[in-house]
Chains A and B, each alone.
Chain A
Amino acid sequence: MTELLIRSDAADPARPAVVLPEPPTRRERWARLGRLLGHRPGLVAAIVVVVLVLLAAFVPSLLAPGDPNTGVVADKLQAPSGAHVFGTDYLGRDLYTRVVHGASLSLQATLIAVVVALVAGGLIGLLAGFVGRWVDEALMRLVDVLLSIPAILLSLALITALGYGTVKVAIAVGIASVAGFARVMRAETMRIRRSTYVEAARSVGTRWYVSLWRHVLPNAAGPVLVLAVLEFGLAILAVSSLSFLGYGAPPPSPEWGSLIAEGRNYLATSWWLCAMPGLTIAATVLSVNRISRALDGEWSRAR
């Protein structure tokens, strides 16, 4: 009987049971991306800035072949010009070279911070959302407490316990921003866990960990990754603040925050020492935020 039914269904290709939208081909996706970017010059500029910063972080010698820690003392404290685009500092070191080489330290710290926050917050949220009941209650109260202490103070408390250094600052910033990830991950997990397809998978005997891996994680990834990009911008600011306060890499390492702290002593005479690294940070954060906004909604709306 069942066989008959199936055969009759299969024999009628003109009337499929469910109409699925055609998945976009590769070409259509590129066309969509082109349309999206064509109307948004700001977004294109943001992508260019981020690509440049990433290049600076991974292959700094490509953008600035010189050595960031040696300078010609005779050329000290020169204003920006053709030879030194960002000017030179009190030891005659080229500021542009130092900013470019500083990108790798600063971005490394930012990346560690975001990964720490993503993994720790994601796990907390996943656990809370998937197990529910008292586990959920307990973990979410923990998150509330994390939210009641301002992030920079929490980071400072962690630095007091951990000590100084780029990686320690990064971990401190990461732990201070766990709460946001935990909340989003929990909300996503709960939404997906109650969905019909997970219920269907359950009813045919799929184990909970398979369901977690195959259904919940891939579907929760989107919103969490958007948050990760947004958090990246915030983490750049937090890491550079702590580095400005002197908790990052020891001098002469050219971290973005400590470059500004160095330039502070020459504020009255040499404006570029603070302005240029600061503008670099601002441009990077603005671009990252712009991309995060594009990922958040404009991509799915631009059809």
Chain B
Amino acid sequence: MLGYLLRRLGTAVAVLWAAYTAGFVVLWLLPGDPISTMASGGLDGEPLTPAAIEALKARYGFDQPLIVQYGTRLWAAVQGDLGASIQTGRPVGSAIAEALPPTIQIALGGLLVAVVLGTGTAVAATSTRLRWLRQLLMALPSLAVSLPVFWVGLMLVQIFSFGLGVLPSVGAGGFSALVLPSVTLGLPMGALVAQVLAKSLTTALDEPYVQTARAKGVGRGAIHLRHALQNAAIPALTVLGYVAGNLLAGTVVVETVFTRPGLGRLTVQAVGVQDIPMVQGIVLFASLVFVGVNLLVDLVYPVLDPRIARGVPAAA
């Protein structure tokens, strides 16, 4: 068990390092240069003097060779220092931490919506005996992933805020303001969960142990929910890391649609002014979440399926 844990932890650290490096390559090697944007007075300031440009370059370390910049930045990042935002001059780490709470609220809401909708659809689709209902339920996820997320959000606002007037359209106040963003965010992820779970539930229901349970007189509902669902949950759990990462990324669109503060808005603002340290910090944070959730999932696997911990290859 300890070896399993250490192996997973090693992989996680390697992925994080690689994601940081990938972010560095994309953001610092490509032509866009924040200092020249600032120097030309591109944002809202006056054009800078050459001496001021040199001073700025020295302050952000742009005057050093790239490999040195990479080394110092990586070492600082390991120690938890992600640098300072070019736009505001504040530390990136604390800016992300401040933007996080409202984002976590809708991300958790989205996760709840995704799990409830996804599991509900999958269980209903595999348990119904009506052919048309089954086909309808199976078709819903592929419909849901074909809709543009920002458009779904706007249509929900249209119907529930302007049409029926039951839920607020913008802002971050109170529980009712959380409902529409969470549904918008959770819908595509719920579709993914439903697809994966429906597939693995169908497989699980064909297993011999289901027949055995049936022969022993266990009811249909109990088989479905207790026996099959528990075994079908493992493949669905695998996509959870992907789901968490995408919930976080989805806030970029959802927070813009609902004019909410948070990490997504922070990202949009940072991209708008080429705030490279901020964007890199956010990318690193997103992959930290992805890696963290995957690590958690890896730790839950042995609980659901003890064969994994003992190194026994799971039966195909």
A274 to B257, CA, bound (A): 12
User: Which residues of B lie under 8 Å from residue A18 when comparing CB positions?
Assistant: none
When the two chains form their complex, are residues B155 and A274 in contact, meaning their CB atoms are under 8 A apart? yes
**Smallest CB gap from B151: residue in A:** A278
A248 to chain B, nearest CB (A): 13
Q: Which of B73-81, B223-231, B247-255 contacts the other chain?
A: B247-255
* A195 beta carbon closer than 8 Å to chain B: no
Query: Which among B19, B32, B162, B252 is the interface contact of A160 at CB below 8 angstroms?
Result: B32
Q: Are A145 and B150 in contact (CB under 8 A)?
A: no
A267 touching B157 in the complex, CB below 8 Å, given contacts A150-B245, A278-B151 = yes
Do A274 and B30 form a contact, CB below 8 Å, given A149-B22, A151-B249, A240-B148? no
Question: Are A278 and B252 also in contact (CB < 8 A) when A150-B246, A153-B282, A245-B268 are?
Answer: no
Give the residues from 254 to 286 in chain A that come closer than 8 angstroms, CB to CB, to chain B. Answer: 257, 260, 263-264, 267-268, 271, 274-275, 278, 281-282, 285-286
Number of A-B residue pairs with CB-CB distance less than 8 Å in the complex they form: 133
**Docked CA distance A91–B282 (Å):** 39
Chain A 79-92, CB within 8 Å of chain B: the 1/0 string?
A: 00000000000000
Closest-by-CB residue of B relative to A237 is: B148
CB contacts (< 8 Å) of B249 on chain A: these are 150-153
Q: Within residues 19 to 69 of chain B, which ones have a CB less than 8 A from any CB in chain A?
A: 19, 22-23, 26-27, 30-32
Q: How many residues of B contact A (CB 8 A)?
A: 48
Cβ-neighbour of B27 out of A161, A246, A260, A278 (below 8 A)? A161
CA separation between A275 and B146, bound complex, in Å?
15
Would you call B154 and A274 a contact (CB within 8 A)?
yes
Residue of A nearest to B28 (CB): A161
Interface flags for B130-153 (1: CB within 8 Å of A; 0: not) read 000000000000110011111100
Q: B252 near A152 (CB under 8 angstroms)? A: yes
**Partner-binding segment picked from B93-101, B104-112, B284-292:** B284-292
- How far is A282 from B279 in the complex, measured between Cα atoms in Å? 30
Query: A267: which B residues are within 8 A, CB to CB?
Result: 154, 157-158, 162
Query: Is B276 engaged at the interface, CB distance under 8 Å to the other chain?
Result: yes
A162–B279 alpha-carbon span in the complex (Å): 13
Q: A152-B249, A244-B150 are in contact. Are A157 and B32 (CB under 8 A)?
A: no
Given known contacts A157-B283, A274-B158, A245 and B253 CB-to-CB distance under 8 angstroms: yes
Q: How far is the CB of B259 from chain A (nearest CB, A)?
A: 10
Residue B256, interface by CB 8 Å:
yes
Q: How distant is A164 from chain B, measured CB to nearest CB, in Å?
A: 9
Contacts of B257 in A (CB 8 A): 264
Question: Is A37 engaged at the interface, CB distance under 8 Å to the other chain?
Answer: no
Give the residue of B148, B245, B290 whose beta carbon is less than 8 angstroms from that of A241.
Answer: B148
Given contacts A160-B27, A161-B32, contact A241 B18 (CB under 8 A): no
Instruction: Give the docked Cα–Cα distance between A163 and B267 (Å).
Output: 15
Q: Which of B151, B272, B276, B291 has the most CB of A within 10 A?
A: B151
A149 & B32 in contact (Cβ 8 Å cutoff): no
Given contacts A267-B162, A286-B146, contact A149 B287 (CB under 8 A): yes
Q: What 5 pairs across the A-B complex have the smallest Cβ distances?
A: A150-B249, A278-B151, A161-B30, A145-B18, A285-B146
Binding site for B on A (CB under 8 A): 141-142, 144-146, 148-154, 156-163, 233, 237, 240-241, 244-247, 257, 260, 263-264, 267-268, 271, 274-275, 278, 281-282, 285-286, 289
Known A257-B148, A260-B154, A281-B148; further 16 A-B contacts with Cβ < 8 A:
A149-B19, A149-B22, A150-B245, A152-B250, A158-B30, A160-B270, A161-B31, A162-B30, A237-B146, A237-B149, A240-B148, A257-B150, A267-B154, A278-B147, A286-B146, A289-B146
A-B CB contact pairs (8 Å), 6 listed = A149-B23, A150-B245, A162-B31, A244-B256, A245-B268, A282-B147
